[in-house]
Amino acid sequence: MTSLDDLPIRDDLRGQHPYGAPMIPVRYALNVNENTHPIPEPVAREIIESLARAILTVNRYPDREFTELRENLAAYLGHGITPEQVWAANGSNEIIQQTLQAFGGPGRTVLGFPPTYSMHPIIAAGTGTSWLTAARDADYRISPETAVAAIEAQHPDLVFFCAPNNPTGTPLPLATIEAAYDATDGIVFVDEAYAEFMPHDAPSALTLLPGRERLLVSRTMSKAFAFAGARLGYLAADPAVADALRLVRLPYHLSALTQAASIAALHHAPEMLAMVDDIAAQRDRMLAVLPELGFRVFESQANFVLFDGLDDPAATFRALLERDILIRDVGIPGALRVTAGTAEETSFFLQSLAELGSGGAR
């Protein structure tokens, strides 16, 4: 049996590792920032009915331009965004991939600020785009000055931000995005996968779109909409960006079933988002309780919390796993990340961590 090393893969992919979040069957899966709340039954019924109608025409190719879906996404986003400004794909990862296929590639560079979303450098490698990095400020923040200094030093073709950041949850000021945009002639990509979990008065990068044709703001239905298994990501940008992505997308890349399910879910956005406040409350609860247990936390506007002060994160990870709790080691020394789940899930996690003691907190 041959091995990967025996195959004639591209030289720049040798030694790379695929995305590898653990997939372990446990009672409390709090490791990949899924929405652990089930879809409300009335909404699920309408989605099923929509899928049933779509399956009757599945012998035909789907709407290549996913027109109705774009109309619904634009209406959901608001901010005066039109359907022509919206693009969608199979999860925000495919949005990122298409962006790098269109604007990156061999001989081009993308700048990120680790620790950040782990798929950014992986997708960069897959598209032949060189991944550049710059340091963050204290507590994982990025000031306008820090962003501009990194851009002026490295002259990237694209700049990637997460707002809020994954895996730290920290917010990103709009001033940083504005400064970065003014400092480059390239693409500025803002990944807002967790935007719905931000405080209600926190402004979105969507407000910066007018007059900025090189600014792209991506979203996903995976988190707030509890739609991770449906795979629907999207972005808002100048209509010309959608034209660019059409050049690299595969034909009919969004199935009729994906479109039907997503449209039905968007019709029930208030019901689907009703759980967001509950999740944010559990996040804030962890932000309050974890320091009482001796851990340090960082401001989070996402649906997860990064906490550090662990002498042996791997040992704590294993101890929690033995209690049927799966959280995430994101590779930050002394730290682990946990998703905000239901009240019962959060209580069990906090109780279990307290019982483990300082094995634990430094």
Q: Over 80: is that where the pLDDT of 1 sits?
A: no
> In the predicted model, what is the mean pLDDT of the chain?
95
Q: pLDDT tens digits, residue range 11-54?
A: 888 888 787 777 788 899 999 999 999 899 999 999 999 999 99
In single-letter form, the type of residue at position 257 comes to L
pTM to 2 decimal places: 0.94
The single residue listed with the structure tokens 């990120």 is 112
Rg of the chain (C-alpha set): 21
Give the per-residue pLDDT at 219. 98
CA dihedral defined by 196, 334, 130, 216, rounded to 10 degrees?
A: 10
- What are 237-246's pLDDT values in tens digits? 999 999 999 9
**What is the band of 143 on the pLDDT scale with cuts at 50, 70, 90?**
very high
CATH superfamily of this structure's domain 4-39+271-356: Aspartate Aminotransferase, domain 1 (3.90.1150.10)
List pLDDT tens digits, range 218-241. Answer: 999 999 999 999 999 999 999 999
State percent of the chain over pLDDT 70: 98
User: What is the arithmetic mean of pLDDT over 146-158?
Assistant: 98
Question: Cβ atoms within 10 A of the Cβ of 51, count?
Answer: 16
State residue 362's pLDDT score: 42
Q: Can you tell me the mean pLDDT for 273-300?
A: 96
Long-range CB contact pairs, 315-319, < 8 A, 24+ = 315/359, 316/353, 316/356, 316/359, 316/360, 319/356, 319/359
287-339: pLDDT as tens digits:
999 999 999 999 999 999 999 999 999 999 999 999 999 999 999 999 999 99
Distance from C-alpha of 351 to C-alpha of 324, rounded to nearest angstrom: 13
Which option is the CATH number for 41-268: 3.40.30.10, 3.40.640.10, 3.40.980.10, 3.40.1010.20? 3.40.640.10
- Is 189's pLDDT higher than 60? yes
End-to-end CA distance of the chain: 47
What's the mean pLDDT in 336-346?
A: 97
d(CA 33, CA 337): 9
Domain ranges of the chain: 4-39+271-356, 41-268
Question: What is the model's pLDDT at position 358?
Answer: 54
- Distance from C-alpha of 7 to C-alpha of 63, rounded to nearest angstrom: 38
- 361 pLDDT more than 70: no
DSSP E strands in 90-228: the ranges are 109-112, 130-133, 158-162, 187-191, 215-220
pLDDT in the model for residue 13: 85
pLDDT, tens digit (0-9, with 9 covering 90-100), for 77-136: 999 999 999 999 999 999 999 999 999 999 999 999 999 999 999 999 999 999 999 999
Query: How, if at all, do strands 187-191 and 215-220 pair?
Result: parallel
Maximum Cα–Cα distance across the chain: 60
Q: How many CB atoms lie within 10 A of CB 48?
A: 11
